[in-house]
Copies of this chain bind each other. A is one copy, B any other.
């Protein structure tokens, strides 16, 4: 395998065994933190802590060097001072370790000596074939085997296994920086590429294209190392699953900031825009979209077209949603005469899209039965491909009623849904959010985001069918 072709990153994400290099000082040592996190998350592989200063950590034997370990080792995680890192990687290569994730900072991004150490790493990679993610990264997480490289304190309820892989070039995207547990984010993998001294975004995309657990890729990039290779890899992904790209640095000032952070030229904005379009990826515009938009692909079917129905409980809200639909490339569905009749029977003023349920809900004795009938009627119209549905969760008692409504609806509809929930109390909204997401209903805290997500789903659906 030549240096450029190797893109099987299996050993990074799916190691059967891992050596951990870093201070094993109790509680505050970052190597200690990594071992603690691996155990706490329930990583099922073997863990080999390595440190010349400790013989034991959390009841496990620590090794003074990697040579001392008799068993084969797939991966290593390193968080030691820069001058010590190249020798450690060299020893790992000798030992036959396949994949090293280097968390340590102060390499190329810091200038000076750091540049030299990073160059030494590149040289070891070329010479030995070992592979490196980083340095200067919070590294990886894989929900499938609970493997993670993060050394910091992490407190989550159970993390939910799902189809979204988040890739980035910043430590902001890590297990410590997001409400993974509380928001039941359906995550497959997380990867911060850091300084990209070896593994780059093209390698990662090639791996993710083939990864059966990844259903959608949300990727933040600051720069691209090899344009044509990146585009080829992106095309491979898009053929199989949606690729959402967030590339900040649109403004000249932003591009300058990116250059100073990533230590590389960010390239021409127009070139990126064209390239992203050409490969059929979808460009995102901010971090909120980066986190929120992929959920639409996590559990919902792809829409067969771009005709949206918008259901609100207050007319004024629908107008803004229509604006968002149009700018997101959706068209406002026109209901068939049969659907319009059904709706008019429920309430005379219900035949238009957006459907404003407000007037009936405030006078009905059983508003949820009505809401259910309206949703079913609208979504069974052949002129409707997807729907953004407003759900009012005023107080706790409504949670169970709303869950029941969607349970009833599930067998009655097979189109793409995105929900907007709102109400008066954060704990109630959070619990409603959790219960809907757990049932495969992408839930948003503003209607515009729900509509935008449907627009993105329809766009990928178009790309996919035009490529087939």
Residue numbers of A with Cβ under 8 A of B are 105-106, 109-111, 152-156, 168-173, 176-183, 220, 222, 246, 248-254, 256-258, 260-262, 286-288, 313-320, 322-327, 332, 349, 352, 354, 356, 358-359, 362, 392, 394-395, 422-427, 429-430, 446-448
Contact = CB atoms under 8 A, between A and B. Distances in A.
Given A155-B394, A332-B253, A316 B424 contact: no
A258 B153 contact: no
A23 to B, nearest CB: 12
Nearest to A434: B426
Contacts of A109: 315
Contacts of A286: 320, 324, 446, 448
User: How many copies of this chain does the complex contain?
Assistant: 2
Contacts of A252: 326
A82 to B, nearest CB: 12
Nearest to A447: B287
A254 B287 contact: no
A316 B288 CA distance: 14
Contacts of A177: 314, 392, 422-424
Given A286-B324, A288-B446, A395-B153, A354 B257 contact: yes
Contact of A176 (B169, B326, B394): B394
Nearest to A175: B424
Nearest to A362: B105
Contact of A423 (B179, B260, B327, B430): B179
B179 A426 contact: yes
22 contacts: A110-B349, A110-B359, A152-B362, A155-B424, A169-B316, A171-B316, A172-B316, A176-B424, A181-B424, A246-B320, A248-B320, A249-B319, A249-B322, A249-B323, A253-B326, A254-B326, A256-B322, A257-B322, A261-B316, A286-B446, A288-B448, A427-B427
Given A177-B392, A286-B324, 18 more contacts: A105-B362, A106-B359, A152-B362, A152-B394, A169-B316, A171-B314, A172-B313, A172-B317, A178-B422, A179-B426, A181-B424, A182-B427, A257-B319, A258-B319, A261-B356, A262-B315, A286-B320, A287-B320
Contacts of A324: 286
Contact of A425 (B182, B258, B288, B326): B182
A156 to B, nearest CB: 6
A154 B392 CA distance: 13
Contacts of A315: 109, 170, 261-262
A171 B358 contact: yes
A313 to B, nearest CB: 8
Given A105-B362, A261-B356, A430-B426, A394 B153 contact: yes
Contact of A178 (B180, B183, B352, B424): B424
B183 A426 contact: yes
Contacts of A446: 286-288
A73 to B, nearest CB: 26
Contact of A426 (B110, B251, B288, B426): B426
The winner among A109, A286, A315 for most chain B CB atoms within 10 A is A315
A60 to B, nearest CB: 25
A215 B427 CA distance: 30
Contacts of A288: 446, 448
